A and B are shown apart, each in its own frame.
Chain A
Amino acid sequence: MAAQLPVLHARDTAFSYTCGACSRCCYGKRIVVNPYELARLARHRDLSTTELIARFTVDGGTALAVRPDGGCVFLGGDGCTVHADRPLVCRLYPLGRIVQPDGGEIFVEVEPHPETAGVYGRDGTVGAYVESQGVAPYIAAGDRYYAVLVKLMSLSASADGTPAPAPSAEPAGDAELDAESARFVDADLAVRAECQRTGEPFPADVESLVDKHIAVLERWVERTFETSIRPAAS
């Protein structure tokens, strides 16, 4: 079998891309979004993350909705209507970024639309291209949420050595999982509840909101670890 491998790039690989603003890449894609990206999009639209998730996302707020014609829900007549706060995958296009288990990263080229107006070249580097798209805060936030995910997974493994939910438990229904997943995705929801509980002021900007959200999630992980796992080990 002659497999066609995706092209693998490092940051110093020669690469350049000039967007032709044809918007063809805004169709037929699944745009996954993490809580930081949801918060950026929500503030761009002057909405709470709760409202944004309800109106513009699918799958519990983990991917952007698409229009009936396959176009992105945020695609307007003149292109992206949230361009300044567009998600990481849109910034990386026509590249994709894969984080390897050791934390290293590789970039792959996404198959372009056959009629794309984008112009490919080699008069730059992958690193220069992605940095020019303002990816740094997105990658930093993604890495921080990924660290929370790793803690959750290690907690699951520590609990009984099998994937969650615990096999002894009654299987969780979709509705129950959806309700519980909201706090992990919806930063405004989780942080507002925390601020009401502690009396702290609600964060004024996205960066502070995400700091607080991650702190709330980490505290929950710690509390669960302390009360449920550690006693068995001691």
Chain B
Amino acid sequence: MSAESKQDHSAGPPGALSRRDSVKLAAGILALGAGLGVPRRALGLAPSAARMQMKFFSGAEDGSKLLDSADLSESLTKFLASPAGARVQIKFFHAAGGEVGSLGLPALMQVKIERLEMKRIGG
């Protein structure tokens, strides 16, 4: 390959793809990855989760004040975010220890995360 043809195909610094090829590459990774069911974080297009934080707020009428927060460990976070999937459930107990009720929230969280990642990739 001649030096001239190298210049034709690389608008950026040595080793960098041209913008057109970068877009094609990203498009290919996104399209094939989605069609094959590969999680977006496994495509290298979104950072993998290392820490999961849960925050607890008061109701809107109280000004939605942050009451407390809790961080989960890295190993537990990675497990929850694994391609095999996991379920998060919040349970409420009364003082004597009996369960009052529970709340599951997997789908809503996933949709929100997906949208955040789409926004990031779309620039």
A→B interface (CB under 8 Å): 1, 3-6, 8, 32-35, 37-38, 59-63, 89, 98, 106, 108, 142, 145-146, 148-149, 152-153, 155-160, 163-166, 168-174, 176-181, 183-185, 217, 220, 224, 226-229, 231-233
Contacts and interface: CB of A to CB of B under 8 A. Distances in A.
A4 B69 CA distance: 24
Interface string B23-57: 11111111111111110000111000000000000
A99 B35 CA distance: 14
Given A145-B32, A166-B22, A181-B30, A227 B1 contact: yes
Contacts of B123: 165, 171-173
B23 A176 contact: yes
B28 A228 contact: no
A231 B10 contact: yes
B63 interface: no
Interface string B73-93: 000000100011111110000
Contact of A153 (B44, B88, B121): B44
Interface of B: 1, 5-6, 8-10, 12-19, 21-38, 43-45, 79, 83-89, 121-123
A3 B87 CA distance: 7
Given A98-B84, A156-B44, A232-B14, A224 B36 contact: no
Given A156-B29, A157-B44, A180-B23, 10 more contacts: A32-B37, A149-B43, A159-B22, A160-B15, A160-B17, A165-B23, A170-B19, A177-B27, A217-B28, A231-B1
Given A180-B28, A181-B31, A164 B10 contact: no
B25 A164 contact: yes
Contacts of B34: 32, 59-60, 62-63
Given A6-B85, A32-B34, A173 B22 contact: no
A168 B12 contact: yes
A163 B33 CA distance: 14
A61 B33 CA distance: 12
Nearest to A37: B35
A172 B23 contact: yes
A180 B26 CA distance: 9
A108 B85 CA distance: 10
Given A163-B45, A181-B28, A149 B87 contact: no
Given A164-B26, A228-B21, A231-B14, A33 B122 contact: no
A155 B16 CA distance: 11
B71 to A, nearest CB: 14
Contacts of B1: 226-227, 231
A166 B18 CA distance: 8
Given A170-B19, A184-B27, A149 B44 contact: no
